[in-house]
Amino acid sequence: MATLNSKIPQGSLSEKWTNYKASQKLVNPANKRKLDVIVVGTGLAGASAAASLGALGFNVKVFCIQDSPRRAHSIAAQGGINAAKNYPNDGDSIGRLFYDTIKGGDYRAREANVYRLAEVSNNIIDQCVAQGVPFARDYSGYLANRSFGGAQVSRTFYAKGQTGQQLLLGAYSALSKQIKEGTVKLYTRREMENLVVIDGKARGIITRDLVTGKLERWFGHCVVLATGGYGNVYYLSTNAMGSNGSAAVQCYKKGAYFANPCYVQIHPTCIPVHGDYQSKLTLMSESLRNDGRIWVPKKLEDAQAIREGKKTANDIPEEDRDYYLERRYPAFGNLVPRDIASRAAKERCDAGYGVGTGKAVFLDFSSAINRLGKDKVAERYGNLFQMYQKIEDENPYETPMKIYPAVHYTMGGLWVDYELQTTIPGLFAAGECNFSDHGANRLGASALMQGLADGYFVLPYTVQNYLAAEIYNQPIPTTHQEFDKAEDEVKERIAKILSIKGKTTVDTLQKELGHVMWEYVGMGRTKEGLQKALPLIENVKQRFWSDVRVDESEDCLNPELEKALRLADHLELASLIARDALQREESCGGHFREEHQTEEGEAKRDDENFMFVGAWEYKEGAEPQMHKEDLNYEFIKVQTRNYK
Amino acid sequence: MDLTLKIWRQENAKAKGHFETYKLTDISPECSFLEMLDILNEQLINDNIAHPVCFDNDCREGICGMCGLYINGRPHGPDEGVTTCQLHMRRFHDGDTITIEPWRAKPFPVIKDLVVDRSAFDKIIQAGGYTSATTGGVPDANAIPIPKHKADEAMDSASCIGCGACVAACKNASAMLFVSGKVSQLALLPQGKTEAAIRVKRMVKKMDELGFGSCTNTFACEAECPKQLKRTNIARMNREFICAKVCSEEK
């Protein structure tokens, strides 16, 4: 059994990363060429890691499921990326960004990792500008900043509403350069189906060529996983259709611990669900909360009239509107962190004040339009308004938007130490697929920061430190019996799924799983509900393995089979999320247990008993076992989050 | 609403393709176009009629560039400034017949049904669509001020999502709009200026090698681009290219 050693370097907080870099082991250029690195995923973390490791001279292979590395879902991030540059001179600093991130994560993240994140945040902006990322600028020609997601300083850099796109294209261009130089080999339309572990170390992966159906074996002296989050376990989420937690589950089953699976972020400003056929939910950037005001009717009868179409938002006079966030949180108002805003919306809708289908609240720009003028509002949010209008067929300049929370990001993920190494030596995890930096709740514009920090500025050091001891090891031929075994496991899994020939489609089952998860393991969780969820998940699992119907063509493009393989793993994850939520008898960040709240309905943490990371170990044929990594706050004073 | 769909079916890259007709009933106008295809596929699987129709898609919010269907003779369908995934069925009428094809262009061979291989775009970017800055060792982000209008223009040029609609729309299957977006973005910024001449030469050479056609200034690309990239990018690329050929000292 692996032990949880977080390997935090000695020294004061601001010296740790410097000390690490000064004492880490290096690999000389001639040896770098002989070392193989596998990177799975080409989002911000994967593309930046592959490009940086390739530029150092390692022999990198990079894999993605889409037709091009530029498609990864990092591309959809709208709002921006944080950095402690303090260009506006408004009091920001590395220490402040560090503190905000720890506090935003409800004191459930590791201090040393978060401090390093804040430390390298500034390098990211420099790097991106050098790549030609067209960040927004002021008339001075210098970079523009905005405040975002409840921060009291303006530290967010942005490129219109397409920051993720521009950052990803920057990383993709750096990756493309390395591909041309031959240090990185790119494999598209490949999905990782298994991890190969030899003598306790990660030594390779098995992929499925999605076009030909062929299983392939790849050796690496180490493997970097950058495969994103598992939000699609809930079926409806803001993730892309292909986003999945499958590769992480494969690693979990091979011995990598899975940390804090119950920390799932539910984003407050998404376009609400309106039909059973719906395949995904679209996020409306958090930046809208800078100028939009969130409300529901004060009177139940008004809410009902709106739902029945007898009244519209504009019929409700000002005094009959309940701006509930401004009412409950006067200091932060509409800008409270995501978890708080989401729960408040659910609370109002559950109490009967919801509009639309009953599961929606208004996001109103009328006072911003009065104050700033329509042109200014259009300049700030034009593309978002247009996107809303395309989907909802309503003009947000005239009637308020309708929004509702939706699953957006997963803070939990593979457990990693300070070096971003999992409990399997030689297996690293970066970006959303690790658990490392956001604690129980992620702040806006911090996901892009973390993905790029891991890929550009952390892994090139820590992977090298690991590989320094590998220079004596020749590449292992993929005819090794462990490769045989890993490939056979995948073959067996595929054969089993295809042989079922049942009556229920993959989507039907994934939707059912999603309903269970949203209902019982969503925004408000209870012991009773979670205990109910576990057998329900088990039931979907049994039906999957006995009644799923998958198109049989194995040797060509077969999206149904891809989805089935992912669902099989999502079912594992679903019960792990529920189990973790059940053991965590407290409310913190994105995890809200209704039993644990203050009289005013705020989250009630239990620092005495739950200030730890819950890392789950897979046990074949038995219940998973949880290990604890205690969180020691040496530098920060732990407080109750207060946004009033 | 009830619909008749005529969909291009093709087993694999080598097989001969053909149109198949399918009927759908009771589709909500609030449905997105791709959700309508999801419903069709559920039906095909449930009724054991045929293999489900393969089509590329991922983010379903118009930014990843993965989806792209030729709908009633137009890339991404009848709406302007949207991708296929952002198209909604309320744009069609009850009883409509909708013809759905893959991108048709030699450099984008069909993989299966409506899925095409667009790796040619990656190859063009690999030929030079970057600045050579490697990780670390770069100056402070504010070291070089860039006039706002230049930065804004670069942003507009950079908004391309690489979907390939421009190539599909062009009678010559020209990739000029795609290539010129990247060339423009980097040529407009001081960080990209250093390598501008060599970049444009390499990218254009690669584009030609891969079998994309020439631009004959009909600008169907501009009309069909879901991100509304402007033809001025093409003009800028031509200028960059000529300057690079005539004045550049680099070979």
Domain end call among B63, B83, B112: B112
* A107 has pLDDT over 70: yes
In a domain, A211, yes or no: no
A117: Cβ contacts below 8 Å, ≥ 6 apart: A98, A101, A437, A449, A450, A453
Q: In whole angstroms, what is the distance from residue A320 CA to residue A313 CA?
A: 11
- The single-letter code of the amino acid at B71 is I
In a domain, B251, yes or no: no
Question: How buried is A379 (Cβ within 10 angstroms: 0-12 exposed, 13-18 middle, 19+ buried)?
Answer: exposed
**pLDDT value at residue B250:** 66
Asked if residue B74 and residue B24 are part of one domain, the reply reads yes
Give how far B59 is from chain A: nearest CA, Å.
4
ipTM higher than threshold 0.95: yes
Q: Are strands A201-209 and A258-259 parallel, antiparallel or unpaired?
A: unpaired
- The single-letter code of the amino acid at B104 is R
Helix ranges restricted to H, A151-219: 163-181
Residues A268 and A283 sit within 8 Å (Cβ to Cβ): no
How big is the CA angle at A403 (ends A289 and A369), to the nearest 5 degrees?
A: 45
In a domain, A5, yes or no: no
Give how far B183 is from chain A: nearest CA, Å.
11
Cβ within 8 Å, pair B135-A52 = yes
Q: Give chain A positions within 8 Å (CB) of B189.
A: 132, 134
Asked if residue A381 and residue A285 are part of one domain, the reply reads yes
Cβ within 8 Å, pair A126-B139 = yes
Please indicate if any CB of chain B lies within 8 Å of the CB of A162. Answer: yes
Q: Which chain A residue's Cα is nearest to B157?
A: A134
In a domain, B176, yes or no: yes
Which one is catalytic: A338, A442, A566, A593? A338
**pLDDT value at residue B22:** 97
C-alpha distances in Å from residue A242, one per residue of A245, B117, B206: 10, 18, 30
Q: Give chain B positions within 8 Å (CB) of A507.
A: 38, 42
**pLDDT value at residue B251:** 59
Domain end call among B112, B147, B178: B112
Residues A190 and A207 sit within 8 Å (Cβ to Cβ): yes
Q: In whole angstroms, what is the distance from residue A478 CA to residue A495 CA?
A: 22
Q: Looking at A50-64, A269-283, B23-37, B63-77, which range is the least confident one?
A: A269-283
Please indicate if any CB of chain A lies within 8 Å of the CB of B198. Answer: no
Asked if residue A600 and residue A515 are part of one domain, the reply reads yes
Q: Give chain A positions within 8 Å (CB) of B122.
A: 68-70, 176, 186, 188
Asked if residue B96 and residue B47 are part of one domain, the reply reads yes
Asked if residue A396 and residue A499 are part of one domain, the reply reads no
In a domain, B227, yes or no: yes
Report pLDDT digits (tens) over A526-560: 999 999 999 999 999 999 999 999 988 778 899 99
Q: In whole angstroms, what is the distance from residue A149 CA to residue A108 CA?
A: 19
Q: In whole angstroms, what is the distance from residue A9 CA to residue B246 CA?
A: 57
Please indicate if any CB of chain B lies within 8 Å of the CB of A86. Answer: no
Please indicate if any CB of chain B lies within 8 Å of the CB of A129. Answer: yes
User: Which DSSP category does A516 fall into?
Assistant: H
Cβ within 8 Å, pair B64-A73 = yes
Residue bearing the bigger pLDDT, A22 or A79: A22
Cβ within 8 Å, pair B119-A67 = yes
User: Which DSSP category does A384 fall into?
Assistant: H
Asked if residue A399 and residue A496 are part of one domain, the reply reads no
Helix ranges restricted to H, A190-256: 246-253
Residue A532, token pair as written in the block? 């109910």
Give how far B78 is from chain A: nearest CA, Å.
13
Q: Which of A71, A130, A507 sits opposite B133 (nearest CB)?
A: A130
Q: Give chain A positions within 8 Å (CB) of B205.
A: none
Report pLDDT digits (tens) over B188-246: 999 999 999 999 999 999 999 999 999 999 999 999 999 999 999 999 999 999 999 99
Q: Give chain B positions within 8 Å (CB) of A285.
A: none
Select from A424, A577, A435, A570 the least CA-distant residue to A1. A424
Please indicate if any CB of chain B lies within 8 Å of the CB of A68. Answer: yes
**pLDDT value at residue B230:** 97
Asked if residue B91 and residue B127 are part of one domain, the reply reads no
Cβ within 8 Å, pair A557-B54 = yes
Asked if residue B239 and residue B149 are part of one domain, the reply reads yes
User: Which DSSP category does A227 fall into?
Assistant: -
Cβ within 8 Å, pair B56-A67 = yes
* A241 has pLDDT over 90: yes
- Say what angle helices A527-547 and A559-583 make with each other, to 10 degrees: 160
Please indicate if any CB of chain B lies within 8 Å of the CB of A273. Answer: no
Domain count, chain A: 2
pTM assigned to the model = 0.97
In a domain, A262, yes or no: no
For B142, half-sphere exposure in the C-beta direction (CA atoms, 13 angstrom radius) is 14
Cβ within 8 Å, pair B57-A75 = no
**pLDDT value at residue A299:** 96
Asked if residue B164 and residue B184 are part of one domain, the reply reads yes
**pLDDT value at residue A639:** 86
**pLDDT value at residue A642:** 75
Q: With a CB-CB cutoff of 8 Å, which residues 550-579 of chain A face chain B?
A: 551, 553, 556-557, 559-560
**pLDDT value at residue A525:** 97
* A2 has pLDDT over 70: no
Q: In whole angstroms, what is the distance from residue A18 CA to residue A26 CA?
A: 15
For the domain that residue B205 is a member of, what is the CATH number?
1.10.1060.10
Asked if residue A607 and residue A523 are part of one domain, the reply reads yes
Percent of chain A with pLDDT over 90: 89
Residue A510, token pair as written in the block? 């994934």
Asked if residue B181 and residue B106 are part of one domain, the reply reads no
Q: In whole angstroms, what is the distance from residue B180 CA to residue B204 CA?
A: 9
Residues A69 and A172 sit within 8 Å (Cβ to Cβ): yes
Residues B157 and B233 sit within 8 Å (Cβ to Cβ): yes
**pLDDT value at residue A276:** 86
Average pLDDT, chain A: 95
Please indicate if any CB of chain A lies within 8 Å of the CB of B227. Answer: no
B244: Cβ contacts below 8 Å, ≥ 6 apart: B196, B197, B198, B200, B201
For the domain that residue A540 is a member of, what is the CATH number?
1.20.58.100
For the domain that residue B52 is a member of, what is the CATH number?
3.10.20.30
Indicate which of B9, B117, B134, B140 best probes the interface with A, i.e. most A CBs within 10 Å of its own CB. Answer: B134
Asked if residue B155 and residue B77 are part of one domain, the reply reads no
Q: Give chain B positions within 8 Å (CB) of A508.
A: 42
Q: In whole angstroms, what is the distance from residue A403 CA to residue A274 CA?
A: 11
Q: In whole angstroms, what is the distance from residue A521 CA to residue A578 CA?
A: 6
Question: How buried is A437 (Cβ within 10 angstroms: 0-12 exposed, 13-18 middle, 19+ buried)?
Answer: buried
For the domain that residue A317 is a member of, what is the CATH number?
3.90.700.10
**pLDDT value at residue A84:** 98
Q: In whole angstroms, what is the distance from residue A205 CA to residue A214 CA?
A: 14
Query: How many CB contacts within 8 angstroms connect chain A with chain B?
Result: 213
Cβ within 8 Å, pair A137-B146 = yes
Cβ within 8 Å, pair A127-B138 = yes
Give how far B220 is from chain A: nearest CA, Å.
23
Report pLDDT digits (tens) over A399-423: 999 999 999 999 999 999 999 999 9
Q: Give chain B positions within 8 Å (CB) of A282.
A: 60-61
Domain end call among A407, A440, A460: A407
Asked if residue B240 and residue B133 are part of one domain, the reply reads yes
Asked if residue B176 and residue B59 are part of one domain, the reply reads no
Active site residue A338: yes
User: Which DSSP category does A455 fall into?
Assistant: I
Cβ within 8 Å, pair B45-A557 = no
In a domain, A67, yes or no: no
Give chain A's length: 644
Q: Whole domain around residue B42: which residue ranges?
A: 3-112
Q: Give chain A positions within 8 Å (CB) of B66.
A: 66-67, 71
State the maximum Cα–Cα separation within chain A, in Å, rounded to a whole number: 76
Report the C-alpha dihedral over residues A307, A312, A314, A317, rounded to 10 degrees.
-60
Please indicate if any CB of chain A lies within 8 Å of the CB of B37. Answer: no
Give how far B184 is from chain A: nearest CA, Å.
11
Asked if residue A486 and residue A403 are part of one domain, the reply reads no
Domain count, chain B: 2
In a domain, A638, yes or no: no
**pLDDT value at residue A339:** 86
Asked if residue B123 and residue B194 are part of one domain, the reply reads yes
Select from A613, A590, A583 the least CA-distant residue to A408. A590
Report pLDDT digits (tens) over A175-234: 999 999 999 999 999 999 999 999 999 999 999 999 999 999 999 999 999 999 999 999
Q: In whole angstroms, what is the distance from residue A462 CA to residue A20 CA?
A: 9
Select from A257, A259, A303 the least CA-distant residue to A440. A259
Cβ within 8 Å, pair A457-B135 = yes
- The single-letter code of the amino acid at B181 is G
**pLDDT value at residue A147:** 84
* B36 has pLDDT over 80: yes
**pLDDT band with cut points at 50, 70 and 90 for residue B247:** confident
Q: Which chain B residue's Cα is nearest to A175?
A: B126
Asked if residue A492 and residue A602 are part of one domain, the reply reads yes
Residue A81, helix vs strand vs coil: strand
Q: Which chain B residue's Cα is nearest to A159?
A: B155
Q: Whole domain around residue A548: which residue ranges?
A: 481-612
Asked if residue B77 and residue B22 are part of one domain, the reply reads yes
Please indicate if any CB of chain A lies within 8 Å of the CB of B191. Answer: yes
Residues B113 and B53 sit within 8 Å (Cβ to Cβ): yes
Select from A168, A169, A212, A192 the least CA-distant residue to B117. A212
Indicate which of A64, A239, A551 best probes the interface with B, i.e. most B CBs within 10 Å of its own CB. Answer: A551
Asked if residue A399 and residue A281 are part of one domain, the reply reads yes
Q: How far apart are the first and last CA of chain A?
A: 45
In a domain, A223, yes or no: no
In a domain, A461, yes or no: no
Q: In whole angstroms, what is the distance from residue B173 CA to residue B178 CA?
A: 11
Please indicate if any CB of chain A lies within 8 Å of the CB of B248. Answer: no
In a domain, A542, yes or no: yes
In a domain, B10, yes or no: yes
**pLDDT band with cut points at 50, 70 and 90 for residue B95:** very high
**pLDDT value at residue A287:** 84
Asked if residue B216 and residue B140 are part of one domain, the reply reads yes
Q: Give chain B positions within 8 Å (CB) of A179.
A: 126
